[in-house]
Structure 1
Amino acid sequence: MDRVMEGMQSSQVPVWLSLVAFAVAPAFCEELAFRGFILSGLQKSRNKWVPIIVSAVLFGMIHLIPKQIFNASLLGLVLGLLAVRSRSLWPGVIFHLIYNGMQVGMARMQPEWLESGVAKLFFTVDMSSGSPDPRFNMLTLLISGLASAVLIGGLIRRHSESEPSPSMNLEGEPTPHAA
């Protein structure tokens, strides 16, 4: 696992390749596996929370690094709720892609960039490990959280509005029993 993390951080590996390997591929593959197959397969149960929780815990467990299991499980809950609420994998794929992409970006930051004025607006640097460890500050988290909420809310709203109502047929006309 250490070699994988070194590869993500290595300046010898192009940034685009790190993004494809650690952000794009996991976003599509993990969402398809955990929300596409596992969550949707378990949705036959009458309780809507069981499939979300089971898929979230399994999602957390595949991340293998003990300190990631809890965070990944929480992320799995968010992604499961997104999938159920939107009835689509796309909001979760986009959220997952942005989340993982930000992690790649953090791992690839150069120490001198962290000293610039712009970087100080968005990041704090933890030096307790002896080397610069960038962390998002509250401004970055607030902006990211608001932007995510607006984008995901828009995707869910747009998807919900495009779904035919149960009392309407596919052409948008009332069904006989609804009149």
Structure 2
Amino acid sequence: MSESKIRQRVFSIKEANIFFILLALLFLTVGAYVQSRELISGLLITEFGLMAIPILLYAFITKKDVKKVFRFKSIPFSAVLKIIILAALLLPTVAVANLITIFFIELFGDSIVSVIPTASNSAEFALLFAVIAGSAGICEEIFFRGAILNAYESKLGRKWGAIFSGLLFGIFHFNPQNFLGPIILGIMFSYLVQLTGSIFSGMIAHMTNNGIAVTMGFITNLSSSSGVIPQESNELIFNTPSVILGVMVFYVLIGAVCIIGIKGLLKSLRTQFPRLEMTNGIVDDVDRSGDQSNYLENINLEKNSDRYGPLWENKPLNINPIELLPIVLAMMMYGLVIYLAYF
């Protein structure tokens, strides 16, 4: 199969960017409307109706290689456990990243407390966990670690693919107080998907991150109702830069310890998932346990200290500025959201 035909079976940056801009517009209009009317059904409409189903339908209609684009490949249970622990260990780093933006916001204005739904009983907890952790983990990963990651890495390589996937993931939240954290998560989720060759690793990590937030809210509500904690708010308000700095130092110390664990888990996963790399630039993560005879053509096995070569290529960014236009438009929308919210 020629390289041009291979590239037609994956997403182009143009296709991914068009979908991203359309999704951003729909998220800020239709998504905001349906969620304001009823949160749970609104979230389901946004996640499935606006995000996951349209991109999957488009992939089928345009005859993309769905299995390769979205990396629907199972991973062993031992890897699942490692990914869950790794995602949990990322939380202090994500907290520090978000506190940095909140710190600067507090220097010039007032941060806004986001109302996050929390459960007060087991039935509500199960529902919120399924919607906020489950549906978001599935649908957002299909879009950002499926189509977006596939488009950028197919042309720019895995490193830049992961970076752009994380950047667009952070922009998509349209919340300056929750901007740097999702970027870090998006890049890490991309790395895990690339490393394991399975989108399920990103889904598991994403569900873990959201699930911990839902669980902590539930525990806080239970503690409040039992009289342990006064029931005033489901959000901790950081109202002065000095308080934010103090909390940030606390999370930095915890994060430093967690990074040691993260590095160890990533090393274990790299050993568990050795890779074959294609020389034509199209990412092809294959299972090495079976007959590889059909994959050996045009494949170069790189051997060095990282067993089969570094996952991320050390190559400069080479992208047409026109292809960055949708990102610029998204940042303009982001600026409008900031203006309306804070000024």
Q: What TM-score does the superposition give when structure 1 sets the normalisation length?
A: 0.66
Deviation per CA, 1:92-143, whole angstroms, max 9, x where unpaired? 11111111100111222236638x9xx9xxxxx9x9xx65757997779957
Aligned to 2:181: 71
Q: Does 1:109 align with 2:219?
A: yes
Query: Are residues 58 and 11 of structure 1, via their aligned partners in 2, closer, same or farther at CA, if it must alter by over 3 Å?
Result: same
In 2, Cα distance between equivalents of 1:107 and 1:70 = 22
Q: Does 1:20 align with 2:130?
A: yes
In 1, Cα distance between equivalents of 2:291 and 2:223 = 57
In 2, Cα distance between equivalents of 1:144 and 1:67 = 23
Is contact 2:144-2:169 (8 Å) kept?
Answer: yes
More divergent stretch after superposition (20-29 vs 154-163): 154-163
Quote the RMSD (CA, aligned, Å): 4.4
- Given candidates 70, 77, 87, the residue that maps to 2:197 is 87
> 1:47: how far off?
3.4
Aligned residues: 161
Is contact 2:193-2:199 (8 Å) kept?
Answer: yes
Q: Does 1:9 align with 2:118?
A: yes
Q: Does 1:57 align with 2:167?
A: yes
| Structure 1 segments unaligned to the other structure (5+ residues) | 120-124
Query: Are residues 163 and 69 of structure 1, via their aligned partners in 2, closer, same or farther at CA, if it must alter by over 3 Å?
Result: same
- Given candidates 158, 161, 165, the residue that maps to 1:48 is 158
In 2, Cα distance between equivalents of 1:148 and 1:38 = 26
The one-letter amino acid of 1:160's match is: P
SS of structure 2 residue aligned to 1:164: coil
> 1:8: how far off?
2.1
The one-letter amino acid of 2:148's match is: I
- Given candidates 274, 287, 294, the residue that maps to 1:160 is 274
> 1:163: how far off?
2.3
In 1, Cα distance between equivalents of 2:234 and 2:138 = 31
| Structure 2 segments unaligned to the other structure (5+ residues) | 1-31, 40-113, 237-246, 276-285, 301-343
Identity across the alignment (%): 21
In 2, Cα distance between equivalents of 1:17 and 1:6 = 17
> 1:14: how far off?
1.1
Q: What TM-score does the superposition give when structure 2 sets the normalisation length?
A: 0.38
Greater relative contact order: 1 or 2 (C-alpha under 8 angstroms, separation 6 or more)? 2
Deviation per CA, 1:8-62, whole angstroms, max 9, x where unpaired? 2142761100001100111111111111111012222243322111111111111
Is contact 2:195-2:273 (8 Å) kept?
Answer: no
